Amino acid sequence: MESKRLILDFGNTYQKCALVDEKGIRLKAYQNITLEDVQDFIGGENIRSAILSSVINFDNRIKDMLQRNYFFIELNAATPLPIVNDYDTPETLGKDRLSAAVGAYSLFSGQNVLSVDCGTAIKYDLVNKDGHYLGGGISPGLWLRFKALHTFTDKLPLVSYNPGAALIGTDTVSSIESGVMNGAAAEINGIIDSYKAKFANLNIVLTGGEMIYFEKSIKSNIFAEPNLVIIGLNKILEFNERD
């Protein structure tokens, strides 16, 4: 039986389990993951190694099980990487940002690449052609923008996604839709243009749960990869297996 890598990515909204081999990625997402969920997902698969990246508190029995049974690493600021991390404060760098950057560079090795992760926050992360992670930016995602307008004003309603939002809103709801949807798209296009002015032949990789709202509005040629963080974690694990 062909061996696989087990990738665990525990975020605030979803916790993801993935099995990766030469044939691709098999993934499942959970909202409140348990040890039993992980064991059921693994089943009888032949696992050669595992990596865990988490921004939440989780059942320590999961980690204990992985350490007992596999070559295992938990991603942290000291984990060896297949890129050079030039971030001034690596201990504060989000694991999802770092993993997305590694994943993007693995897709465009030896080239300048910008990952744009459209999730709860919109995160921009740049790796140059020499494989150095330089940093990036963070701004509110779509849902945060909608929620902030409602929460921090007395009369604005809570509005939700409208990918076909008109440029000119003709009432309060459509005005909010325009401001949030078109404003975020304009921001992303503007940020990408600014990066392109600094880095030649820049590749753009789009990912994240809200990327579906931007795929058609981004003017640059992009490579959309919903599993970019999983790909990055797999590359980090692969890199450490060789040590």
> Would you name the residues annotated as active-site residues?
96
Tell me 213's DSSP state: G
Alpha carbon 204 to its chain's center: 14
Residues 203 and 114: their CA atoms lie apart, in Å, by: 6
Using only C-alpha atoms, what is the Rg of the chain?
19
Cβ-count burial 96-125 (b if 16+ within 10 Å, e if not): bbbbbbbbbbbbbeebbbbbbbbbbbbbbb
Of the chain, the end-to-end C-alpha distance in Å amounts to 24
What tokens does 105 get? 């560079």
- What one-letter code names the amino acid at 109? S
Residues 82 and 95: their CA atoms lie apart, in Å, by: 14
CA-to-CA dists, residue 31 to 15, 17, 166, 195, 225, angstroms: 6, 11, 34, 35, 22
Residues 95 and 56: their CA atoms lie apart, in Å, by: 11
